[in-house]
Amino acid sequence: MKKVLFATTALVATAGVAAADVTFGGYGRFGILYVDTAAGDSTDITSRFRLQIDATAESDAGVTFGARVRIQQDNDGSADGTTTGGVGVDADGDGDNDFRGRQETGINGVRFFARSGGLEVGVGNIFGALEFMPGMYPIDLGLTGHSYDYTAYNFRGDAYDSDTGGAAGLNGVEVMYSAGDFSMHVSASDVNDRLAAHFAYTFSGWTVALGLQDSDAAGDTEWAVSVGGSVGIADLSFAYAKNGDDNNIVGAGGNGDHWVLAARFDVGAATNIEAYVADADYFAETSYGVDFNHDLGGGTSLRGGISSTGQDVTLVDLGVRFNF
């Protein structure tokens, strides 16, 4: 991550403000993605470029005010700017199954925040209490993340949106607090009138978290729990989410229980292997996957993985990621 520090009279409004701190960071990734569905299979180039900008300033009282914004481009978004939200869909009409349609954008919605000590208040394109809950992202499979079946809350709550068109984005409010081994996060938005919270505590190297949400949508997450820690060379994680009552629908529109077991193993000084198994009432079958990540040094890595999703889609990817 590169940092550019501006401390000129052009950016400092008063003598009491020391400086504005602007940080640029992000990553790029590119490689090959193979998708096999009941409708057919395809092998294509996959890529993403993400530039994240964080800007902060500190008041005389020691309160940090800031904002975060992203510029992101994926090569597998749909040509007309719409999103399908699915895997293995021919979003651009070229006859090949795309990995996932997205809303492409020059800049996403901004998250503004004020922070002092262990307390932070955010508004705008918020992180979301369930999205930020420990155990919701126990691994990051392969180069592209695959179907994210290992994310138990299944994106049924507020989350920081990298793809929203224009600078407006989604609007919400959240409060985050941490003290020692305890942390909590409360968020609310107009999306389905969501009100969510998670509470987490770490002891003896293990983290336990509980998430709760009230929402007008029947399929939104009602509650979730996760446990994660290390046993020998393995980092282990279990997560469960109740994503509404089971409505006997498989696939889009399906609700119900979702559970995940995940693990990460170091197999050398520069290489690790990740694996997961997950199931949900709305899956057609049990989902599972395995990957490898090899550190090439200097923020670069070689990554690849294979998975079978809950909707009977096989995904295989391989490529390079570089962080900056």
Q: What is the pLDDT of residue 79?
A: 40
CA distance 91 to 84: 7
One-letter amino acid of 117: G
Q: CB neighbours of 56 closer than 8 A, spacing ≥ 6? A: 20, 21, 64, 65, 66, 67
CA distance 220 to 315: 26
- Length of the chain (residues): 324
Q: What is the pLDDT of residue 163?
A: 77
CA distance 300 to 291: 16
Closest CA to 262 of 279, 276, 278: 276
Bridge partners, 289 (sequence order): 276, 307
**Cα distances (Å, whole numbers) of residue 310 to 121, 168, 258:** 36, 33, 11
Q: How many CB atoms lie within 10 A of CB 79?
A: 11
- Which of 1-10, 52-61, 240-249 is least confident? 1-10
- Residues 316 and 305: beta-carbon distance below 8 Å: yes
CA triplet 130, 131, 136: central angle to 5 degrees? Answer: 90
Q: How far apart are the first and last CA of the chain?
A: 5
Mean per-residue pLDDT over the chain, rounded: 88
Domain boundaries, the chain: 28-50+64-323
Task: Give the pLDDT band (50/70/90) at residue 20.
Answer: confident
For 144-201, the pLDDT digits (tens) are 999 999 999 999 999 998 876 556 656 899 999 999 999 999 999 999 999 999 999 9
**Cα distances (Å, whole numbers) of residue 255 to 153, 221, 245, 264, 282:** 11, 9, 6, 28, 6
In Å, how far from its chain's centre is CA 158? 11
For 46-93, the pLDDT digits (tens) are 999 999 999 999 999 999 999 999 999 887 654 433 333 444 445 445
Q: Enter the pTM of the model.
A: 0.85
Name the CATH topology of 28-50+64-323: Porin (2.40.160)
